Amino acid sequence: MVDLNNDNNSNNDQKAPKLWGWTTYASIAIAIIILVFAATFVDLKEIWRQITACDKRFVLLGALAHYATYLVRGMRWRRCLIHLPVKAGSTKFGLLVFFYNFVDNLVPAKLGDVYAAHLARINFNIRRSAAMGSIVFLRMVDAWIVLLLAALASWTLFADKLPGAVFWSLIGGCIIAVGATSIMLVFFLFKKKLPGWIPQKIQQMIQAFQTGMWPRAKELFPIAILTVTIWSLEIVWIFCLTLAFDLNVGAAETIFLTMIPLLASAFPFTPSGAGVVEITLFSCLRVVGVTSPIAASLTVVNRFIDYALHIALGVLTWAIRRVIGLRTWRDVPLKDLRENDPAEIPVGQSRLNIDY
């Protein structure tokens, strides 16, 4: 198993996000229990028969569409941070997006986002607070898009009576969207002047967060175009899977099958909602009229490509990280982060104090 734990040479001034511990192991155990329990309700032989009979060309096309989103997400993240002194191309950003999402598949409660900020600190030499600000901004944008598309598709399909599971998924998505927006608003309100009782160190972190969470105005249109591209590719990914299993679904059904399981992926007690996402996708397929064997088979293929394959590719990425230029705290000792920092320059000028 990949070890992403804290290095032994860390110090009190610089602490990397500790990802492995009893909470991570417990969350993985919960996910396994859920999946094993769900497997008792399906015919595994029939699932295998359906999978072997599906059209692999559409599966491959869908997988390519899905994994292409990581490159586009990297381009979008770079656009969000282009006002900072970041000397890296979109490919490097895409690599980091892919890798921190791999981490997110192993740890609960979206701790992968914390690791993403640390990766940005090590690879791009920007403050972790600034990187986290950009991540919160993008999470807010994506949360509202997923919520609105999920709500629209659900209303179109179930105008008379919304299924309970769908209703609660939408409620969860609303909480996430409102939560991310609230964070943005709080930091916006403190943008001009911070209370004097806040320690200077915390004030610098807040200012860096504010700097990272607001892209340049001229970048908003490219960010919007890239966002549309990302979610179009995700919808294409699910549509290709339905074609692979010879299903005839419309636009509303495809959007519904794409967005509702994504809301479930925010379930905080398992890595990326593992276990909950599978049950949600299977239930959504059943709700739109797909038979149980095909629904289970499509769910297995979906989660194999989106989740299991991502973990396997993430482990490979970790193994060849030095070849592809990916730096982690295994490669950059934490005690060296402060020592190698440039001189402190006030937030808002051409460079940031790269400290946290």
Q: Which two tokens stand for residue 11?
A: 């110090």
pLDDT for residue 166: 86
pLDDT band at 295 (very low <50, low <70, confident <90, very high): very high
**Does residue 127 contact residue 353 with C-beta atoms inside 8 Å?**
yes
How long, in residues, is the chain?
A: 356
Distance CA 130, CA 229 (A): 25
CB-count exposure of residue 309 (10 Å: 0-12, 13-18, 19+)? middle
Give percent of the chain with pLDDT exceeding 70.
85
The angle at the Cα of 329, spanning 79 to 134, to the nearest 5 degrees, equals 25
Distance CA 119, CA 334 (A): 12
CB atoms within 10 A of CB 208: 25
* 34-38, 90-94, 140-144, 211-215: range with lowest mean pLDDT: 34-38
pLDDT for residue 338: 53
The angle at the Cα of 182, spanning 177 to 188, to the nearest 5 degrees, equals 130
pLDDT for residue 343: 33
**Does residue 278 contact residue 268 with C-beta atoms inside 8 Å?**
no
pLDDT for residue 106: 87
Q: Angle 164-189/128-157 helices, nearest 10 degrees?
A: 150
pLDDT of residue 154 exceeding 80: yes
Q: What is the mean pLDDT of the chain?
A: 84
Q: Which two tokens stand for residue 336?
A: 């060296």
pLDDT for residue 300: 95
What would the mean pLDDT of 151-176 be, rounded to a whole number? Answer: 87
Which residues 6+ apart lie within 8 Å of 160 measured at CB? none
pLDDT for residue 334: 59
pLDDT of residue 146 exceeding 60: yes
pLDDT of residue 26 exceeding 50: yes
pLDDT of residue 305 exceeding 90: yes
* 14-23, 151-160, 257-266: range with lowest mean pLDDT: 14-23
pLDDT band at 355 (very low <50, low <70, confident <90, very high): very low
**Does residue 82 contact residue 219 with C-beta atoms inside 8 Å?**
yes
CB atoms within 10 A of CB 316: 11
**Does residue 184 contact residue 136 with C-beta atoms inside 8 Å?**
yes
pLDDT of residue 97 exceeding 60: yes
pLDDT of residue 15 exceeding 60: no
pLDDT band at 269 (very low <50, low <70, confident <90, very high): confident
pLDDT for residue 10: 37
pLDDT band at 192 (very low <50, low <70, confident <90, very high): low
What would the mean pLDDT of 13-19 be, rounded to a whole number? Answer: 53
pLDDT for residue 3: 43
pLDDT band at 50 (very low <50, low <70, confident <90, very high): very high
What would the mean pLDDT of 110-134 be, rounded to a whole number? Answer: 89
pLDDT of residue 197 exceeding 80: no
To the nearest 5 percent, what fractions of the chain are helix, strand and coil? 70, 0, 30
Distance CA 246, CA 340 (A): 57
Distance CA 176, CA 170 (A): 10
pLDDT for residue 8: 39
Q: Which of 112, 148, 113, 147 is nearest to 131 (CA)?
A: 113
pLDDT for residue 313: 96
Q: Which of 94, 102, 101, 89 is nearest to 73 (CA)?
A: 94
What would the mean pLDDT of 129-144 be, rounded to a whole number? Answer: 93
pLDDT digits (tens, 9 = 90+) for 317-353: 999 999 999 988 777 765 555 544 433 333 333 333 3
